Amino acid sequence: MSKHQWYEELQKTITTGTLLIDESLCKYTMTKLGGAADLLVIPGTIDETEATVRYAYKNNIPLLLLGNGSNMVVRDGGVRGIVLHLSQLNTIRIEGSLVHAEAGALIIDVSKRAAATTLSGIEFACGIPGSIGGAMAMNAGAYGGEIKDIIVQATVLTKAGERLVLSKEQLELGYRKSIISQEGYYVLSADFQLAQGDQGVIDGKVADLTFQRESKQPLEYPSAGSVFKRPPGYFAGKLIQDCGLQGKGHGGAEVSLKHAGFIVNKDNATASDYIQTINMVKAEVKKVFGVELELEVKIVGEEITE
């Protein structure tokens, strides 16, 4: 089956969403990098999402969930198969102190909505650039808070398109990992338990964390965020800084001068530039400190072939 056949068949199901053949993914990633997807599917509803996953599974078509593209590097050769982008699944609903958010909602927006209704517990996420789906898969965290502190349950799809509701315990949330990433589940939505707080205290905390983020992170350039996980007993950024790697890189990609844990697309970088810079950093830190840095970002897709 060709991508044109996939398009024609999925058109029968995707009536409120969007289907795009050979769509460049650089428009959908925070790094502004990446080649084209054979077929990009942007479902309009959860049912359309479920139908897409089932269609890919039934027809043995590779399926990649892109999320908000904030923690992912797409290679220059693009992605074969179907890429699922859940940006239209962005409903946020608040009932008392319980917050329900669909997978495509940005976690920053959930944090803002909670703060606006005097709910506390998710202030830590006011600067995390990812979607709820990505945040769930990675158990996203910052400034001493993480998803596992507030999650009640998540609704996911298995690779076969079976819908499951997983409790906090069943999600097996750990440092930048979960049963979602382990099993390759697709998040549909999540429910968070927050607490009534003091508006002044919440606003003050959000303002402080926003200032810390803006003053320390290179938000003026496209990037995939923090590239490496924190090695036991170390800080990745400090190791990279102590190797003297800030400002160094390949092509248009370089290690940020503002925060050594970030690699930025400073000057029309290619994905190859970005990945070469990642590998250079890993090799140098290994040589100098004997520490093997582990990626926090996910590298997907194919190299350009002649």
- CATH code for position 286: 3.90.78.10
H or E, element range at 18: strand 18-24
User: Taking every pair of C-alpha atoms in the chain, what is the biggest distance, in angstroms?
Assistant: 60
User: Quick one: pLDDT at residue 143?
Assistant: 83
Number of helices followed by number of strands (H, E) in the chain: 9, 19
Report the domain count for the chain. 3
Instruction: Render pLDDT for 156-207 as a digit per residue (tens, 0 to 9).
Output: 999 999 999 999 999 999 988 899 999 999 999 999 999 999 999 999 999 9
**Which of the following is catalytic: 75, 120, 131, 176?**
176
Annotation marks residue 54 as catalytic: no
User: Quick one: pLDDT at residue 144?
Assistant: 86
Token pair 């930025």: residue: 264
Residues with Cβ within 8 Å of residue 299, at least 6 apart in sequence = 72, 73, 75, 275, 278
Question: What is the distance of C-alpha 295 from the center of its chain?
Answer: 13
Does 212 fall in a domain?
A: no
User: Quick one: pLDDT at residue 137?
Assistant: 92
User: Quick one: pLDDT at residue 88?
Assistant: 94
Q: What span, in angstroms and rounded, lies between the C-alpha atoms of 225 and 227? A: 6
Mean pLDDT of the region 88-92: 96
| Res. 303: pLDDT tops 80 | yes
Domain boundary among 185, 206, 227: 206
Share of the chain above pLDDT 70, in %: 100
Does 305 fall in a domain?
A: no
| Res. 306: pLDDT tops 80 | no
Asked if 142 contacts 129 with a C-beta cutoff of 8 angstroms, the reply is: no
Same domain for 101 and 181, yes or no, is yes
Annotation marks residue 254 as catalytic: no
Q: Which of 156, 143, 228 is nearest to 191 (CA)?
A: 156
Mean pLDDT of the region 294-305: 91
Annotation marks residue 176 as catalytic: yes
Does 243 fall in a domain?
A: yes
Same domain for 237 and 256, yes or no, is yes
Q: What span, in angstroms and rounded, lies between the C-alpha atoms of 217 and 260? A: 9
User: Quick one: pLDDT at residue 214?
Assistant: 84
Domain boundary among 157, 175, 206: 206
Q: Which structural domain range is residue 104 located in?
A: 92-206
Same domain for 195 and 235, yes or no, is no
Does 122 fall in a domain?
A: yes
| Res. 127: pLDDT tops 90 | no
Residues with Cβ within 8 Å of residue 141, at least 6 apart in sequence = 124, 147
| Res. 138: pLDDT tops 60 | yes
Q: Which of 33, 32, 30 is nearest to 76 (CA)?
A: 33
Instruction: Render pLDDT for 241-262 as a digit per residue (tens, 0 to 9).
Output: 999 999 999 999 999 999 999 9
Same domain for 229 and 275, yes or no, is yes
- The SS3 of residue 207 is helix
Strand partners, 63: 82
Same domain for 158 and 230, yes or no, is no
User: Reading across the β-sheet that carries 98-102, which strands appear in turn?
Assistant: 92-95, 98-102, 186-193, 151-157, 163-167
Does 73 fall in a domain?
A: yes
Same domain for 96 and 77, yes or no, is no
Does 155 fall in a domain?
A: yes
- The SS3 of residue 201 is helix
**Strands annotated E in 231-278:** 249-250, 253-255, 262-265
Instruction: Render pLDDT for 210-238 as a digit per residue (tens, 0 to 9).
Output: 888 888 888 899 999 899 999 999 999 99
Domain boundary among 84, 100, 128: 84
On average, the pLDDT of the chain sits at 94
Structure tokens that stand for 220 in this block: 């003026």
Does 48 fall in a domain?
A: yes
| Res. 119: pLDDT tops 90 | yes
Instruction: Render pLDDT for 37-55 as a digit per residue (tens, 0 to 9).
Output: 999 999 999 999 999 999 9
Mean pLDDT of the region 112-137: 93
**Which of the following is catalytic: 70, 111, 178, 226?**
226
Does 149 fall in a domain?
A: yes
Same domain for 192 and 262, yes or no, is no
